[in-house]
Every structure is written in C-alpha cells, then in structure tokens.
Amino acid sequence: MFKFFACWLVWGLGFCTSIVHSAAQVQEPRVPYVPTPQDVVEKMLQMARVTSSDYLIDLGSGDGRIVVTAAKKHGTRGFGVDINPTRIDEAVANAQKSGVTDKVAFYQRDLFQTDLSQATVISMYLLPRVNLELRPKLLDLKPGTRIVSHDFSMEEWKPDVHAQVYSREKYNGQGGDSDVFFWVVPAKVAGV
Ligand SMILES: C[S@@+](CC[C@H](N)C(=O)[O-])C[C@H]1O[C@@H](n2cnc3c(N)ncnc32)[C@H](O)[C@@H]1O
C-alpha cells in the first residue's frame, strides 16, 4: 500500500514538475504584432532626432522596420528584439533587402531580459501596461537617452513632446491617428 502511494506521489511530482518546466520554456508574447505604419516610423525617428552617431534599440521589433529605416535613412546602428522567431526572420530579410546588415541586428529575446545600456535611443510600440512595467528600467538608463513610443504613454512620466499623426495605413488601411510620445531620460538629482 505504502509502495503504491509512494509511486503515485513520485509520478505526480514528476508530472507537475514537467508542466512547470515546459510552461517556463514557452515565452508568450506580451503584445500582439501590429506594425507601425511607415509614415509614423518616419515621424518617430524625426522626433527622436536619430543620427549616424546614435545606437537605437527597438523593443518588440516586429519586421524590423524602425531599426532598418533608421539605418537606411540616417545611418543609425542598432538592434531589435522580438520574442517571435518569425518576426526575427522577417526583420533579417528586411535588413538584407535594404543593405543595412552591417549596421543592424535582430535577436529573438524577451524585451524584459534585454540589456539596454548601449542605447542612445529606444523605440517601442507595446501596450500601456508593458510601458509602465518598463518605466523603472527606462528611467534608470543613461541621462539623455531618448525614448519614443507609438500610441502609448507612460502615465505620470509626462512626455517632453507629444504629436499626433494621421496615417492612411493605420487600422489595417482604414486610416486613423497615431500618437507619438517622446521623452529624454532625466539626470538623477537628490538631496537638499
Ligand atoms: C505592436 S508590435 C510592434 C512591432 C514594431 N516595433 C513596429 O512598431 O512595427 C509588438 C511586437 O512585440 C513583440 N513582443 C511581444 N512581447 C514581447 C516580449 N516579451 N519580448 C520581445 N518582443 C515581444 C511581438 O512579437 C510584436 O512583434
């Protein structure tokens, strides 16, 4: 009887461990894939004033259009991260087609596990709650780092610039407004 119970317990524990293990390995996207319309990409890069001296990181880079456009039009170096391997394949193909593989790279990675310290500019098109979760990490970046976000703000961290741009590509070609928010990471000041 005891042996039967022990076997059952061992099997049960093994089963539970394997469920937890495979759940830990599956990385679920926190944000669905919706590409930024190309004219909004241009507006984001213009607001962030990207140049060839910048290093741009796009968090959740989709087909890589923000990083690739910055490299092609402004000579900006940088990388994109996306959790979805299909998006990474598309972004790499996009970089090859645009002839910017010497300037950009794309990694399949969770954006929350990404080292952002190299960035002078961060771009993102995520979701309000994801922006808020990222906010402490962004505020911890080098003072002067520029951040540009499509459509979503960071609540109490008010943007330095907020613009609205109409795009015919928005909402699957139905057309609509995009919000673009821009922040500069402030210096840390404390004391009396
Ligand atoms: C709204 S799309 C934006 C794509 C691109 N940045 C653009 O503006 O065209 C968000 C992207 O984030 C990716 N994503 C979602 N959760 C992620 C995570 N935890 N880490 C990295 N990428 C993620 C999705 O796969 C998707 O491609």
pLDDT digits (tens, 9 = 90+) for 48-73: 999 999 999 999 999 999 999 999 99
What CATH code is carried by the domain that includes residue 87?
3.40.50.150
Average confidence score pLDDT of the chain: 88
* Cβ of 60 less than 6 Å from ligand 1: yes
Q: Is residue 113 part of a domain?
A: yes
Q: Which residues pair with 59 in a beta bridge?
A: 81, 124
- pLDDT mean over 90-104: 98
Cβ atoms within 10 Å, residue 50? 26
Strands 176-184 and 146-150: antiparallel
Task: Determine the structural domain holding residue 165 and report its residue range.
Answer: 38-184
Residue 67 lies in a domain: yes
Ligand 1 atom 14, closest CA: 60
Domain count, the chain: 1
Nearest-CA residue for ligand 1 atom 2 is 33
Is the beta carbon of 84 within 6 A of some atom in ligand 1? yes
- Give percent of the chain with pLDDT exceeding 70: 85
* 85 within a domain of the structure (yes/no): yes
Residue 105 falls within a domain, yes or no? yes
Task: Answer yes or no: is 12 within a domain.
Answer: no
Tell me the whole-structure pTM to 2 decimals: 0.87
Q: Which residue CA neighbors atom 18 of ligand 1 most closely?
A: 110
CB-CB contact of 43 with 180 (8 Å): yes
Q: For ligand 1, say whether the CB of 131 is within 6 Å of any of its atoms.
A: no
| Burial class of residue 66 in the structure, from the number of CB atoms within 10 Å of its CB (0-12 exposed, 13-18 middle, 19+ buried) | buried
Position 17 in a domain: no
Does some domain include residue 31? no
